[in-house]
Amino acid sequence: MNRYESNSMAIKFINPKNSPPPAANYTNLAVVPQNHRLLVLAGQIGNLMDGTLVDGLEAQYKQALKNILSIVESEGGTAGDIARITIFLTEKPGDHSLIKAANDDVFNGQNPAMSWLYVAGLFRPDVKVEIEAIASVSVD
């Protein structure tokens, strides 16, 4: 199994026909299967294991996604088990394709439900992005 596959009975990512299509690279609905544990992750920032914050919004975004994936993997999950992310940004990306590339790298085109919020600031002035996640891991 690679990191893009769910453990079993994968989360269904759906764009219902009776609702408008997504405005960007996300899915409107993530349906979690029965017999799964719900993982609710705290907001993650773009820091490394030693606590160093990487530079720039796009690099912080990519690292925050990696941190989320690492936490989900610590519970036996994969990127395919991430049902939803909420992204808090202090500035608009200079190049949206870099954010899309980071999502594609982690989610392999199977993007979860997501919301983007632009905020005046986060808990430290050098933190440009924070991402929360909800995942669902199979109960073995």
Residues 14-27 pLDDT 10s: 888 998 887 777 78
Number of domains in the chain: 1
Any idea what the CATH number is for the domain that residue 42 is in? Answer: 3.30.1330.40
- Cβ atoms of residues 111 and 28 within 8 Å: no
Residue 30, domain member (yes or no)? yes
Is pTM beyond 0.85? Reply is no
Average pLDDT over every residue of 26-31? 82
Tell me how crowded residue 136 is: count the other CB atoms within 10 A of its CB: 26
Residue 1, domain member (yes or no)? no
Q: Which domain holds residue 67?
A: 12-138
Average pLDDT over every residue of 83-110? 88
The pLDDT of residue 9 is 54
Residue 5, domain member (yes or no)? no
The sheet with strand 82-89 has its strands ordered as 36-44, 129-138, 82-89, 113-118
Residue 63, domain member (yes or no)? yes
Q: How far is CA 99 from CA 58, 102, 105, in A?
A: 6, 5, 10
Please list the alpha-helical segments (H only) found in the chain. Answer: 57-74, 96-107
